[in-house]
């Protein structure tokens, strides 16, 4: 069994009017990737707060995010997809620009690989238990 690396990740709960901003990968089925919130890795030398703002922007194509608060940290073992334990820094974000109900975006990966295409949309917070890979673990803290 490979040794599991611990990787710092961020998860972004972008909340507006009792709804959560989520996305799906349009190149894969729901069965493969599910519904997700903006999330990703913390780069060397980058703070988790900066990573949260960067990832939210990269995955949604929007830019007017601000951090409301850090909700906490949680660990998630993503094996066997990748043999790693993710230390997730979870943030509540606010979006200060209007959005449509649904829109398409893509993450370009600095040109190092093919763009990843997403469809972004809002779901009621009460339905957010559908998030994949334990991403909903700290949703309850939005009410603290």
- Examine the pLDDT at 34 and tell me if it is beyond 70: yes
**pLDDT grade for 33, boundaries at 50, 70 and 90:** confident
CA distance 5 to 7: 6
* Domains detected in the chain: 5-143 (3.90.79.10)
In angstroms, the CA 53 to CA 40 distance is 10
pLDDT digits (tens, 9 = 90+) for 60-84: 999 999 999 999 999 999 888 788 9
Q: Average pLDDT, stretch 31-36?
A: 87
- Residue 104: pLDDT band with limits 50, 70, 90: very high
């Amino acid at each position: 069994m490979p040794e599991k690396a611990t990787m710092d990740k961020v998860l972004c709960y972008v909340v507006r009017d009792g709804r959560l901003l989520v996305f799906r990968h349009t190149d894969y089925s729901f069965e493969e990737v599910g519904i997700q919130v903006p999330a990703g890795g913390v780069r060397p030398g980058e703070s988790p707060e900066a990573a949260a703002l960067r990832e939210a922007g990269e995955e949604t194509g929007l830019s007017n995010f601000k951090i409301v608060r850090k909700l906490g940290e949680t660990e998630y073992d993503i094996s066997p997809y990748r043999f790693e334990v993710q230390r997730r820094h979870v943030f509540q974000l606010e979006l200060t620009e209007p959005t449509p109900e649904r829109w398409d975006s893509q993450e370009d990966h600095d040109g190092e690989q093919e763009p990843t295409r997403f469809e972004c949309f809002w779901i009621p917070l009460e339905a957010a238990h559908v998030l994949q890979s334990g991403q909903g673990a700290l949703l309850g803290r939005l009410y603290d």
